[in-house]
Amino acid sequence: MFKKEIEGYVKVDGDKIEVNWRKIRNKSMKGEWCPRFEQELTEHLLELGVLSRMDKDNFGVFGTGVCLDPKTEFSMLYFTKKEYAESYRDGKFSNAFYDVGIRAL
């Protein structure tokens, strides 16, 4: 349903996957967020291997002791590569008033 719109946020070039988290954050902050779009985007990132439902051997983004990773209504999600977690941190939390770090899990 949102496949074309998702392509505006997620670029795949061979093995390289780039998610524009800043654009996603801006859409959310403007109140333009749709739960169905978020669900399809999350499923797409799970299929691409950017996100995982398993924490073991993956990466989490934390701020002041709180996990800031994306989540579904049922579970936390984790990043499969440190570079994906860094991209998420830099795009979503670049203006945070607290330290945001990445941990190997």
What ranges do the domains of the chain cover? 3-104
Confidence of residue 103 (pLDDT cuts 50, 70, 90): very high
The pLDDT-based confidence of 47 (bands split at 50, 70, 90) is: very high
Q: List helix spans (H) across 10-99.
A: 21-29, 35-48, 82-92
**Structure confidence at residue 73 (pLDDT):** 74
The pLDDT of 63-75, averaged and rounded, is 81
pLDDT of residue 44: 94
| pLDDT, greater one: 19 or 74 | 19
User: What's the predicted TM-score (pTM) here?
Assistant: 0.86
Residue 103, SS3? strand
